[in-house]
Structure 1
Amino acid sequence: MYDKLEQRSFLATLVLVTLAFALLMKPFFGPIFWAVAIAVIFNPVQQWLGRRIAGRPNLVSLITLVLCLVIVILPALGLISSLVAEGVTLYQRIQSGDVNPGQWLDRIRESFPVVETFLDRFDIDFNKLRESAISAVVGGSQFLASRAFGIGQNTFQFMLSFALMVYLAFFLLRDGHRLVELLIVALPLGDDRERLLMSKFAEVTRATVKGNLLVAVAQGALGGLIFWVLGISGALLWGVVMAIASLIPAVGAALVWLPAALYLVAVGDVVSAVVLVLFGVLVIGLADNLLRPILVGRDTKMPDYLVLLSTLGGIVLFGINGFVMGPLVAALFIAFWGIFIREFNDSAGDPFEHSGEADP
């Protein structure tokens, strides 16, 4: 009896200490999460280098981290700074009256009255929709402008988070396999289940970041390029917006280039509108279907509806980190239930596996 009380008291204290440690780490959630993501994504590179530079784990991890900085992180920081600069310029032009989003929408309504009629059937007031769209554009540009001011004020905080991420990524690249084995020993879920879950975690993280992010960059670059070719102002800004929109399955970059095509028709530039629509459908739209299977692979792809819901839910709960964390939580949900069904209800089979073959 006393031994059971001791054990339960220890487990309760363990839970409390773990929760306290989690709260302690909460301010550094972003840097920790992205350090883990870097270690998972670049683990194959680190292993490849390790086979060629045997016995030098510190050097291997350092080279891997430098490659990550040069190939991914520094270009991303440059792109973000350019985006903020474009947003500041747009906000200034809106404030000065050079850019009038309301005028754009009015021209679309005048050229396509069927749009307003269609919205009326669903009791959607075009004027309210117009005001919401204007507020979104102004608010977005104002947000970027405030970010530019905030970055200047919070340079130390940004540099601290960035340095912490790089520092943690180095040690996770070097000692990540040991930490995984330690977790497998510590967690009371069964070693086979834990290895399966760890494998799923790494698989989905690589698929989501490497696949979705690279596809988004490709679609954003293609969108920005066609905007620049057609002479649409703010091509860099809209290219980045399309890249961000591409993270949302099903709708993607069409949220940007389709309204732009409608506006071109409204102002009488039909040729440019046709070129934009054809390029959007045949090039930007197909980039996802062509690149995602190559970068991700069919075996890790979840149903489109689940990807859409988990991505949107993740962004709502976790902010920009949610485009990775949402699908990751969904994949772990499927993995846990798959394990449960296989081990506790063998007769039902695994509903997440579709062989496409009829039962004999």
Structure 2
Amino acid sequence: MANHRLENKVFLALLLLVSIAFIWILLPFYGAVFWAVILAIIFAPLQRRLTRRMPGRPNLTATITLCATLLVAVLPVGIIGTLLVQEGANLYQRIESGQLDLGAYLEWIRERLPPSLQQQLNRLGVGDFQDLRERLSGLLLQGSQFLATRAFSFGQSTFEFLVRLAVMLYLLFFLIRDGSAMVARVRNALPLADVQKHRLFTKFTQVVRATVKGNLVVAITQGTLGGLIFWFLGIPSVLLWAVVMTFLSLLPAVGAALIWTPVAIYYLLSGQIWQGVLLTLYGVGVIGLVDNVLRPILVGKDTKMPDYMVLISTLGGLALFGLNGFVIGPLVAALFMSTWGLFTEREEAAVDDHRPAA
């Protein structure tokens, strides 16, 4: 018995060390692996439908699903990313050449504020926009410079990018084709009851799809709608502002309003009343309502997280993982809440079982 326990401990220690070493090896490609898993989960229903229609042909169905993934998810992101980098480079050149002076716009807005409001701002110590001008101009310059440098660095790291893309697509094919068998092996290896394993994996799949669809689809929809109204009003760098609104829409409570609200105020103060009114009504009545209409449909009540949890997890994920953190952060938070929910239900059920009957 003692030897058996020792063997189990040694084996578990070896299993832990090997797992850590394997994760360490995968770290350079964690983004490719992460998105391969996410896309495989999202497109798994399509794979199952194709398998039912074409049984016994797993390679063909996996190839069709992979092609659908490329057309729906991968290629549009690549095209938009390339155009965004070009927009950022153009914006950086305009700022460097002095064609775009954000400080001048702020000073222009301050001069057109009502005298009473200017006096109130002076009492609060924010009447002088010089510090705000420098901060906003610096942020805009840094952001556009980052996008401009991406255009240069992309040419230098094209090979690395292509390798990671190939790794993602290669892994995605096998996850699509053999995903069910892999999940079954992982379920069998977990030392949990069958009911708990079933609920945990079901919850995991629901959370992944709800997080990606609920957050990304809603954000993309809001960014697209914002880009359309900017294009209609003739605002330059439409694609850049649409992408910025998309990212900001991932954050609850603030969202795309951080972009379209200052533009609407500018229109109203400059005498372009109908443009300002149109943008305000469109922002509140169309862009603002997308979250209330689409998110319950895509996410559902069971997996919807509180706004404060989405905000904190998104910012934390962004700080730790970069752009991937927009998905990783809310996903980890949702899984955290789901797992603790299962644990709480199990403990409550155990207490009910030991409670004496009345």
CA distance in 1, matches of 2:118, 2:248: 23
Three-state SS of the structure 1 residue aligned to 2:302 is helix
Which is further off, 142-151 or 2-11?
2-11
Q: For structure 1, which segment, 50-59 or 326-335, has the greater mean C-alpha deviation from structure 2 after superposition?
A: 326-335
Distance in 2 separating the partners of 1:46 and 1:171: 12
Aligned counterparts of 1:143 and 1:314: Cα–Cα separation in 2:
20
Would you say 1:134 and 2:137 are equivalent positions?
yes
Superposed CA offset, 1:327-355 (max 9, x none): 22122222222222222234889xxxxxx
Q: CA deviation at 1:314?
A: 1.8
Match of 1:230 in 2: 233
Residue aligning to 1:104: 105
Which one is further off, 335-344 or 262-271?
262-271
| 8 Å Cα contact 2:118-2:127 kept in structure 1 | no
Alignment deviations for residues 145-188 of structure 1 (CA, whole Å, 9 cap, x no partner): 00011111111011111111111111000111111111111122
RMSD: 2.2
Which residue in 1 is equivalent to 2:82? Answer: 81
- Where structure 1 has 5 or more consecutive residues not aligned to the other structure, the ranges are 350-360
2: CA distance, partners of 1:182 / 1:238: 45
Q: What code does the residue aligned with 1:220 have?
A: G
Higher mean C-alpha displacement, 4-13 vs 216-225: 4-13
TM (norm. structure 1) is 0.91
Whether 2:194 is the aligned partner of 1:191: answer: yes
Contact 1:314 1:321 in 2 (8 A): yes
The counterpart of 1:304, out of the listed 303, 307, 312, is 307
Change (3 A) 1:181 1:117: farther
Instruction: Write out aligned runs for 1:162-241 (5 A).
Output: 162-241=165-244
Structure 1 pair 208–124 and aligned structure 2 pair: CA distance change class (3 A): farther
The Cα of 1:193 is off from its aligned counterpart by: 2.1
Determine the structure 1 residue equivalent to 2:50. Answer: 49
**Equivalent residues in 2 for 1:139-158, closer than 5 Å:** 139-158=142-161
Higher mean alpha-carbon deviation, 209-218 vs 339-348, is at 339-348
Residue identity opposite 1:76 in structure 2:
V
SS in 1 for 2:179: helix
Cα 1:117–1:343 shift into 2, 3 Å? same
Contact 1:110 1:266 in 2 (8 A): no
In structure 2, the gaps of 5 or more residues are 353-358
**Distance 1:345-1:262 versus aligned 2 partners, 3 A rule:** same
Mapped to 1, the partners of 2:9 and 2:186 lie a distance apart of 21
Matched, 1:295 2:298: yes
| Matched residue, 1:93 | 94
Q: Is the 8 A contact 2:218 2:294 kept in 1?
A: yes
Distance across 1 between alignment mates of 2:225 and 2:306: 26
Tell me the distance in 2 between the aligned counterparts of 1:131 and 1:347: 60
Query: How far did 1:117 drift?
Result: 4.0
Percent identical pairs in the alignment equals: 53
